Amino acid sequence: MPNQMAELQRRSLIEPVPQAADAAPGTQRYRLHPALRAFAAEALAASNGADAAKRRHAEHFHRFIQQHDVTAGSQDLVGRLDALDREIDNLGVALRNAAASGLWEMLRDDALCLGIYFTLRRSAAFATIFFDEIRSAIPVPAPDEAAAAIAAVDLAQAVLHNRYGHYLAAVELARGSLQQAHQDRELALLAQLEIGRAGFFTANYTDAQVSLERALHLAQVGGFAHWECRALGLLGLTLLYAGEHERGVQLSYAALHLSRKQHLALEEGKLLNQLGMIFYYQGRFPAAAQHYEHALRLGRSCGDNGIMIATTISLGAIAQQIGDYPRAT
């Protein structure tokens, strides 16, 4: 194990944590190299999981994912993606060693990030195998300080299942993550958010509302503006589908105002798209077009193909209804 850690350090994958003056000999701790921690944060952000502090990395990596077609056959692109995959393989080695060595802080911070990158670049089955391997490396019964690491691994799997439509499995894993999170407020709010998301997509709107309101409270208390915006927007959509139309629109606008106040451009684009959808189904086509146009401009400026595709299709549907609408500039 020491040789493996030395090799990881030599390759700038990990770095030693400064020792306390009274630390016992042979108790050196390690953490991921800052460059790789940033890369892991980018991977997390690309799957809509970055908080405000990670936004700069999130936007960079998000543009990379959205602007490059991995099936295009470009040798330069293939080389870059291969390099990214090699770094992720290295991160996987570091996390396996972290689990085996009891480096719980490293595992907690980066398991979720790495897992979501697997989701983006590999198959769901491969990511699940990786998570199971990391989870099985944590001793049973686990030491108390490992609780947050276990919660992060379980939560990564919950996010994975929510992405692939396995909502009941997502709820089960997220609830397990919530129980393990203890005093870790951010992990707890993320677990509540995933439970709420799964509830929304399975039309369990009452359960979804309860979880999303808890996530919103944790985000507000903890000062997590990005997650507050996400929870508020999804809560608005949930209430709308549950029949509380006026309150649903109010919360959607509240989330939009928060995204502008915190300069969360990607969140703003998604919320504008959400409001456009609301107005479209209410038959308020000019208002829908106005919101879609603004979302389209933001999508272009952020390099978000998802927003651009969704809004372009929606604007086409509006054009069929009313024949014309304001054009994006």
SS (H, E, C) 107-155: HHHHHHHHHHHHHHHCCHHHHHHHHHHHHHCCCCCCCHHHHHHHHHHHH
272 burial level (CB within 10 Å; 0-12, 13-18, 19+): buried
- Compare 15 and 106 and report the one with higher pLDDT: 106
pTM metric for this prediction = 0.65
Average pLDDT for residues 26-38, to the nearest whole number?
A: 54
Query: What tens digit of pLDDT does each residue of 54-90 get?
Result: 343 344 444 444 443 333 333 443 455 565 566 567 6
The predicted pLDDT at position 209 comes to 96
Query: What tens digit of pLDDT does each residue of 257-272 get?
Result: 999 998 888 788 888 8
The predicted pLDDT at position 134 comes to 78
190 pLDDT band, cuts 50/70/90, is confident
Q: Are 285 and 321 in contact (CB under 8 A)?
A: yes
The predicted pLDDT at position 177 comes to 86
